[in-house]
Amino acid sequence: MTTLPGQLNPTPRLLLGPGPSDAHPRVLSVMSTPLLGHLDPQFLEIMTETQTMLREVYQTKNQLTFPVSATGMAGMETCFVNLIEPGDPVVVCSIGYFGTRMIDVAGRTGAKLTVKEKPWGQVFDLNELRDILKETRPKVLGLVHAETSTGALQDISQVGKLCHEFGTLLITDCVTTLGCTPVKLDEWEVDAAFSCSQKGLSCPPGMSPISFSPRAVDALKSRKTKVQSWYLDLTSIQSYWSGDRAYHHTAPITMVYALREGLRLVLEEGLEARYARHLRNHAALRAGLEALGLEYIAAESCRLPQVNAVKIPAGVDDVAGRKHLLNEFGIEIGGGLGDFKGKAWRIGIMGYNSRSICVLSVLAALEHVLRGAGVKVTPGSGVAAAELAYSA
């Protein structure tokens, strides 16, 4: 190697895409804390504290609740590989890109997989789900709570109960909801949930908090085959996180520090206050985006507050627009995935970044970008509409 790369010194960004969102400064700060060993009594205590807070945020008493040592997608895989054995009937009801991922993940477990899909931007209603369960009688139903590719929120509040009428376990993707909008695992009778660290919890990406209900744990215990993944095998990891603290793999100490701080921030604020904050900032952002002439993809009845997916106006180039935002204003928003590639922008105001200054900044910058691309926009209209919404 001729010359080494220089000191890390990135130009600061404001991360308003579908994730990662900016980590809270207090989270960044704890990440410089020197390491502890993964079996140090002090670290075991930190693990317990983290789990206790995580249960609170997931609104569950589930004993088997802890962060998987990898990013959100590993959490998805953890849920499927632990609950499914080859030949098990599984249904994935997909409403977008991350539903498609569930199909791919579930398909690798040897499951007898049935796929049900809705046009992107829509969600399933309870009657449709009932019919699907009746028809397929699956061991597991997989459903994405917040489909960040479309900005749609799938109501899952009644789905767990429904599943249990059919002896089905419900796996839900809470990657984009946890810490932003209500996730009530016990009340909703969700059997296995996974999330991430870099959205509603305001940490860097790198951990996937999961939670398994007693029903799911029973299914895990009655497996006849080994879990196909060693790294994600809850039958052994749980003895590190839930049992006798026996060594499984070396936990990512610093990421656990971060998650602990992120969870402290959530609970200091309080769940209800946090949800209300996300709704308030969403209302302002939405007013501003609509004033700029941007149209939402998901219907109002199932719209996510934390990820705002809008159609890119005719004549505006996706990549050029986002580059403009990034290079001139340091603001990152997301492009479209899959069917929506080149057609959608996704604006995330999650966790720490669900703040009025983020809303106003992105509206002001977007207005500039749209005008630059030849769209007619009344100067200041986005910000003005947001201001009005805030004062309403």
Q: Which residues are annotated as a binding site for substrate?
A: 346
Contacts 24+ apart (CB under 8 A), 338-341: 338/96, 338/97, 338/100, 338/120, 338/149, 339/97, 339/120, 340/120, 340/149, 340/150, 340/297, 340/309
Nearer to its own copies, 85 or 387 (CB): 85
Give the Cα separation of 367 and 378 in Å (integer): 9
Minimum CB separation from its own copies for residue 114, in Å? 18
Which are the contacts of 74, defined by CB distance < 8 A and separation ≥ 6? 68, 208, 232
Minimum CB separation from its own copies for residue 60, in Å? 13
Omega within 30 of 0 (cis) for the link into 204: no
Minimum CB separation from its own copies for residue 34, in Å? 6
Measured in degrees and rounded to the nearest 5, phi and psi for residue 87 equal 95, -15
What per-residue string of b and e applies to 262-295 under the rule 16 or more CB within 10 Å gives b? bbbbbeeeebeebbebbebbbbbbbbbbebbebe
Nearer to its own copies, 43 or 212 (CB): 43
Nearer to its own copies, 22 or 387 (CB): 22
Torsion of CA 381, 346, 156, 83, to 10 degrees: -170
Nearer to its own copies, 267 or 316 (CB): 267
Minimum CB separation from its own copies for residue 121, in Å? 20
Q: Are 22 and 15 in contact, with CB atoms under 8 Å apart?
A: yes
Minimum CB separation from its own copies for residue 53, in Å? 7
Give the Cα separation of 203 and 50 in Å (integer): 13
Could you list the residues known to form a binding site, using ranges: 346
Minimum CB separation from its own copies for residue 221, in Å? 18
Nearer to its own copies, 98 or 162 (CB): 98
Between helix 72-83 and helix 234-241 the angle, nearest 10°, is 120
Nearer to its own copies, 215 or 352 (CB): 352
With 0-12 / 13-18 / 19 or more C-beta atoms within 10 angstroms meaning exposed / middle / buried, residue 325 is buried
Nearer to its own copies, 76 or 132 (CB): 76
Q: Could you say which DSSP state residue 160 is in?
A: H
Minimum CB separation from its own copies for residue 154, in Å? 21
Which are the contacts of 243, defined by CB distance < 8 A and separation ≥ 6? none
Nearer to its own copies, 155 or 269 (CB): 269
Minimum CB separation from its own copies for residue 135, in Å? 26
DSSP 345-356: EEEE--GGG-SH
